[in-house]
C-alpha cells in the first residue's frame, strides 16, 4: 500500500488529485453542494429534464406497478414490458430497425467492440474519443489505430493501408465530450463504406439536443442505418434518466443479445428507468423550444466569453470549454468560482491532453441570460 500512497501524493503535487463533492439537491442549474447554494455550469442535463415533474411521475408510477429492482438479467427474467416498449420507441425515434438497452453507455461501448471484433481485426478511432471507446477497443483484442483529431485524410490513408478481408470498425464521438466540436460523420460514413468498414457513432452528447426532433447528430445529418450502421447514445445526459442504447439492424441487435457479455452478464436496469425514458423521449420530440433556447444560450455565451482572456474552443454545442492550460491554475479558478457560488469543474489530464486543463462549461436549456452574465462577470474578476 506504500506504493499507492506515493502515487496519490504525486497526483496532489501534479494538481491531478480528484475530489467528489456531495450534491444535496436534485440535478438542475441551481444545486446545493457541501451546504452551499450554487449556480451550476457542469451538468450534462442539457435540456433540464433530470428533475422534470412528468418524468418523475412516470418513474414513480412505474415503481408502484413494477417495484424497484429488475431482479435479474434481461435473458433470465429481468426484461420487463417497459424495457421492451422503450427499445421499440428508441428504434423508431432514431430511425433504426431495432434498439437494445444497456445499463450504462460505458457498457454499451465495451459490448460493441468486444462482441463485433476480435484478434486480427482493426479499429480506427479519433485521438479525442471518449475513454469508454478506447477501453472497448482494448478489450476487443483488435488492433487499435488512432488518427489525429478530425483528420479525415489520415483516416483514409490508414483505411487504405490495412489489409482487406479483416473486420474493420471506425468508432467516433459524435460531439467530443471535452471539446464540444462535432466529428465529420458524413465523411467517416463515406470512407467506411468505400473501404468496406463499419462505422459506429457515439452520440452521448448529441442525442436529445441535435436534429429537428432531437434524435441526435445522425438525424441532423440525415444519415440512415445503411450509412451509419451502428448508433450508440446515452440516456443519462440530455434525456435526463440513465443508461444507454445501441440501435441498428436486426442482425446487429440480435448478435449483441446473443453474444455481448456486458449485456448478458448483468442485472437489467430498473424498469422504472425505462418508463422515465419513454416519457422523456415524448417531451424531447414534442418540445423543440428547449433545443432552441439552448442554442440561443450557446450563441450568447460565445459572444460574451469572446471578451475573456481565455481561449474559447470551436464548439457550437452545449459543451463550451475554456482552456486554461496549467492544472493548478484551472483548479484554482474552479475553486474560486465555487467560493462565489458558481460551479464549473476543472478538467485535467488524462481526461484531456497534458497542458490543456480547462474549465468545462456546459449550458442547459434551463439557463437564462442573467445566469450566463453572472458567470462571465465572475470570470472577468478572477482573470
Ligand atoms: C462520449 C461518451 N460516451 C460514453 C459515455 C459513457 O456513458 P455513461 O455515463 O452512460 O456510462 C460518456 C459519458 O459518460 C461519454 O461522454
- Whole-number Å distance between alpha carbons of 261 and 269: 15
The class of domain 53-286 in CATH terms is: alpha beta
For 16, counting Cβ atoms within 10 Å of its Cβ (0-12 exposed, 13-18 middle, 19+ buried), the class is: middle
- pTM beyond 0.75: yes
CB 192 within 8 A of CB 30: no
Q: Is the per-residue pLDDT at 333 higher than 90?
A: yes
Q: Out of 134, 180, 234, 277, give the residue to mutate to test ligand 1, the one with the largest number of ligand atoms within 8 Å of its CB.
A: 234
Distance from residue 105's CA to the centre of ligand 1 (Å): 5
Residue 173: name the closest of 317, 46, 296 by CA.
Answer: 317
- Return the pLDDT at 234: 98
To the nearest whole percent, how much of the chain has pLDDT over 90? Answer: 95
Average pLDDT for the chain? 96
Position of cell 490508414? 158
Of all protein residues, the one whose alpha carbon is nearest to atom 5 of ligand 1 is 105
- Return the pLDDT at 152: 98
Q: Is the per-residue pLDDT at 136 higher than 90?
A: yes
Q: Out of 128, 130, 134, 269, give the residue to mutate to test ligand 1, the one with the largest number of ligand atoms within 8 Å of its CB.
A: 130
Of all protein residues, the one whose alpha carbon is nearest to atom 9 of ligand 1 is 105
What does 177-219 look like in DSSP terms, one character per residue?
TTT-PBP-HHHHHHHHHHTT-EEEEE-TTTTTTSSSSS--HHH
- Per DSSP bridges, beta strands 122-126 and 143-147 are parallel
Give catalytic residues, as residue numbers: 177, 205, 237
- Return the pLDDT at 164: 78
- Whole-number Å distance between alpha carbons of 260 and 268: 14
Q: Is the per-residue pLDDT at 52 higher than 90?
A: yes
Residue limits of CATH 3.90.1150.10 in the chain: 17-46+288-382
Query: Can you name the CATH fold of 17-46+288-382?
Result: 3.90.1150
Rg over alpha carbons for the chain, rounded to the nearest Å, is: 21
Cβ of 204 less than 6 Å from ligand 1:
yes
| Mean pLDDT (whole number) for 185-201 | 98
Residue limits of CATH 3.40.640.10 in the chain: 53-286
Confidence of residue 47 (pLDDT cuts 50, 70, 90): very high
Cβ of 177 less than 6 Å from ligand 1:
yes
Q: Is the per-residue pLDDT at 348 higher than 90?
A: yes
- Return the pLDDT at 266: 98
Encode pLDDT of 54-94 as tens digits.
Answer: 999 999 999 999 999 999 999 999 999 999 999 999 999 99
Listed in sequence order, the DSSP H helices in the chain are 2-13, 53-66, 81-94, 105-116, 131-140, 152-161, 185-194, 217-221, 250-259, 261-264, 271-286, 289-305, 327-339, 369-382
**What element of type H or E holds 143?**
strand 143-147
Cβ of 269 less than 6 Å from ligand 1:
no
- Return the pLDDT at 235: 98
CA–CA distances in Å: residue 35 to residues 21, 113, 137, 341: 10, 42, 41, 11
- Return the pLDDT at 15: 85
Confidence of residue 162 (pLDDT cuts 50, 70, 90): confident
Encode pLDDT of 288-325 as tens digits.
Answer: 999 999 999 999 999 999 989 888 999 999 999 999 99
Which range (8-22, 63-77, 205-219) has the least confidence? 8-22
| Mean pLDDT (whole number) for 196-208 | 98
- Whole-number Å distance between alpha carbons of 202 and 354: 24
- Return the pLDDT at 44: 97
Amino acid at each position: 500500500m506504500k506504493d499507492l500512497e506515493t502515487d496519490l501524493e504525486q497526483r496532489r503535487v501534479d494538481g491531478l488529485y480528484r475530489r467528489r463533492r456531495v450534491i444535496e439537491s436534485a440535478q438542475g442549474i441551481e444545486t446545493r453542494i457541501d451546504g452551499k447554494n450554487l449556480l451550476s455550469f457542469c451538468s450534462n442535463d442539457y435540456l433540464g429534464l433530470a428533475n422534470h415533474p412528468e418524468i418523475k411521475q412516470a418513474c414513480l408510477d412505474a415503481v408502484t406497478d413494477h417495484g424497484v429492482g429488475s431482479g435479474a438479467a434481461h435473458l433470465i427474467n429481468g426484461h420487463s414490458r417497459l424495457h421492451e416498449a422503450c427499445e421499440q420507441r428508441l428504434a423508431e425515434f432514431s430511425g433504426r430497425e431495432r434498439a437494445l438497452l444497456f445499463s450504462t453507455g460505458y457498457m454499451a461501448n465495451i459490448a460493441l467492440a468486444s462482441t463485433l471484433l476480435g484478434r486480427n481485426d482493426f479499429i480506427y478511432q479519433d485521438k479525442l474519443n471518449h475513454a469508454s471507446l478506447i477501453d472497448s477497443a482494448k478489450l476487443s483484442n483488435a488492433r487499435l489505430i488512432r488518427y489525429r483529431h478530425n483528420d479525415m485524410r489520415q483516416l483514409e490513408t490508414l483505411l487504405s493501408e490495412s489489409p482487406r478481408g479483416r473486420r474493420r470498425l471506425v468508432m467516433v464521438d459524435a460531439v467530443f465530450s471535452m471539446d464540444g466540436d462535432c466529428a465529420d460523420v458524413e465523411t467517416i460514413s463515406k470512407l467506411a463504406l468505400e473501404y468496406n468498414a463499419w462505422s459506429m457513432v457515439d452520440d452521448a452528447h448529441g442525442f436529445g439536443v441535435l436534429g429537428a426532433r432531437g434524435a441526435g447528430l445522425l438525424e441532423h445529418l440525415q444519415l440512415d442505418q445503411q450509412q451509419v450502421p451502428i448508433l450508440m447514445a446515452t440516456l443519462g445526459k440530455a434525456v435526463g434518466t440513465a443508461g444507454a442504447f445501441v440501435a441498428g439492424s436486426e442482425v446487429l441487435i440480435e448478435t449483441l443479445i446473443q453474444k455481448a457479455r456486458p449485456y448478458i452478464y448483468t442485472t437489467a436496469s430498473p424498469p422504472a428507468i425505462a418508463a422515465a425514458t419513454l416519457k422523456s423521449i415524448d417531451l424531447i420530440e414534442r418540445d423543440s423550444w428547449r433545443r432552441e433556447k439552448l442554442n440561443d444560450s450557446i450563441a450568447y455565451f460565445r459572444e460574451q466569453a469572446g471578451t475573456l482572456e481565455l481561449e474559447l474552443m470551436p464548439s457550437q454545442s452545449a459543451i463550451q470549454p475554456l482552456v486554461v492550460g496549467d492544472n493548478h491554475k484551472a483548479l484554482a479558478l474552479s475553486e474560486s468560482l465555487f467560493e462565489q457560488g458558481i460551479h464549473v469543474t476543472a478538467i485535467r489530464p488524462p481526461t484531456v491532453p497534458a497542458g490543456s486543463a480547462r474549465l468545462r462549461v456546459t449550458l442547459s436549456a434551463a439557463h437564462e441570460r442573467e445566469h450566463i452574465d453572472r458567470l462571465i462577470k465572475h470570470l472577468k474578476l478572477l482573470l
